[in-house]
Amino acid sequence: MKDLDQRQRDFLAKYGFDAELQESWQRDVRAGRLSTANNLVRGPLLPPPPGSIVDMPPSGSAEWQELDRVGREAIARGELGVAILNGGMATRFGGVVKGVVEVRDGRSFLSLAVDDAQRHARANGGRVPVFLMNSFATDDATKKHFAEHGDFGADSGDVEHYTQLIALRMTPDGELFRMDDGEVSPYGPGHGDFAPAFRASGCLQRFRERGGRYLFVRNVDNLGARVSPAVLGHHIRSGKRVTAEQTSKLPGDVGGAPYLHGDRVQLVEQFRFPKDFDHSVVDVFNTNTMTFDADALEEHIELGWYYVEKKVEGRVAVQVEHLIGELTAHLPTNFLRVSREGTDSRFLPIKAPDDLTRALPEIAALYDN
C-alpha cells in the first residue's frame, strides 16, 4: 500500500485494515481468480431433503407455548444477546445512516430494536445486551444517536458498539479505485465480518463471561426481526449451532436459500447460482436472521471471498465481500420457516424510504401489539 499517504493509512488502521489481504485480492482480480465467473457454485445444487426445513409451530399452540417457555427461561438466566448488523455504506436511504432514521413515534430503527430487547429482559427478569456492528460509514452517527438518547434507557453496559472491517475498492484490472478527487474508495466487506469482528472487539468474550450462551443476529432494517422466546426455544431444542430463519418466497424476492450442496444443506446466495439454474426448486427465502450458539462464534471459520461490481461516480468499481450465511456450510444448522404475514411476521425489510411509507400499517400491527 505504498501509494497511500499517512492520513489514509491512519484512517484505515482505525478500522482494522488488512493491507496483505487487500494486496492479495488485487493480485487475484488481475489474474482472474476473483471474478464473477468464479463466484459460481461448483457442482450441483439440489433441493434440501424432506425434513431439512422445519416450520415454526403456530403461535399459541401447545408446542409453541413449550418453546416459548424454554426461551423465556433462557432469557431469565441472562443467556440471550442481540447483535444488530448496522454496517454498510449508508447510501441506500438518501445518504443517511438508516439505523438512526425515525420509523414511527420518534423512534428509530435502532431504538425500536433496543426497546424490543429491553422489553423481553424486563418481562423475564433477565438482561438482554445489544451489540451493534457498525461500519466506518455508520459508526459516528450511530454513537451520536445513542449518546443523545441515553442508550434509549438500556442499563449500563447493555449496549456495545464495535466496527466491521474496512477494505478498498478496486478497478476491474486490480488497481486501487480512485474517486474523481483522487481519493481511494473504502467500503465494508460484507456481513461475513460479523463473527471475526465480534471476537476481535472483545464483545464475544465479555458476553460469554457474563453467562451469555445464545446470540440473536439480525439486519438493522428488518423490522420483523424481533426477539422471540419461542424461536430461541426452537433453537435450543434443535441442538444445532445455528438457527437460520427462512420465509416463503414471493415473486421478486432476490437472495439466497438453503440447498443441498455436497454433503450439507447450506445457504447459497443467488449471485452464486449456476447459469440457468432453476431456483424455484426451493420455496423459501433467507431472511438473514439467525440465532447462534455463542461458543460456535469462537471458531475461526474461513469464509469465501466473492467478486462484486458496483457503480461509483459512474464507473465500475470492484468490491470483495463475504457472507454471514456461509457459516451454515460449516456449522450444523436448524433451518426454520417463519411467517412473513400479520402480527407473527418476522420479515419486514425496509430498503428505501418508500418502503417505510408503504409499510407503516404493518409496522403499527407489529409494534402496537
DSSP 55-120: EPPPTTSHHHHHHHHHHHHHHHTT-EEEEEEE-S-S-SSTTS-GGGSEEETTEEHHHHHHHHHHHH
H/E segment holding residue 26: helix 19-31
Q: What is the pLDDT of residue 280?
A: 87
Distances (CA, A) of 287 to 183, 246, 269: 35, 6, 11
Q: What is the pLDDT of residue 254?
A: 80
What tens digit of pLDDT does each residue of 75-102 get?
Answer: 999 999 999 999 987 666 667 899 999 9
* Cα(49)–Cα(280) distance, integer angstroms: 15
Ramachandran category for residue 335: left, alpha or beta (phi over 0 → left; psi -120 to 50 → alpha): beta
* Cα(86)–Cα(72) distance, integer angstroms: 26
Ramachandran category for residue 278: left, alpha or beta (phi over 0 → left; psi -120 to 50 → alpha): beta
Residue with cell 469462537: 298
What tens digit of pLDDT does each residue of 253-272 get?
Answer: 888 999 999 999 999 999 99
Q: Are strands 214-219 and 80-86 parallel, antiparallel or unpaired?
A: parallel
Residues of the chain with pLDDT under 50: none
Q: What is the pLDDT of residue 279?
A: 87
Look up residue 183 and give its three cell numbers.
481519493
Q: What is the pLDDT of residue 333?
A: 98
Amino acid at 201: S
Q: What is the pLDDT of residue 97?
A: 94
Distances (CA, A) of 253 to 256, 276, 287, 361: 9, 17, 11, 21
Q: Which H, E and C letters describe 301-312, residue by residue?
A: CCCCCEEEEEEE
Cα three-residue angle 17-321-4, rounded to 5 degrees = 30
According to CATH, the superfamily of the domain at 47-367 is: Spore Coat Polysaccharide Biosynthesis Protein SpsA; Chain A (3.90.550.10)
- Quote the distance between the C-alpha of residue 87 and its chain's center: 9
* Cα(134)–Cα(83) distance, integer angstroms: 11
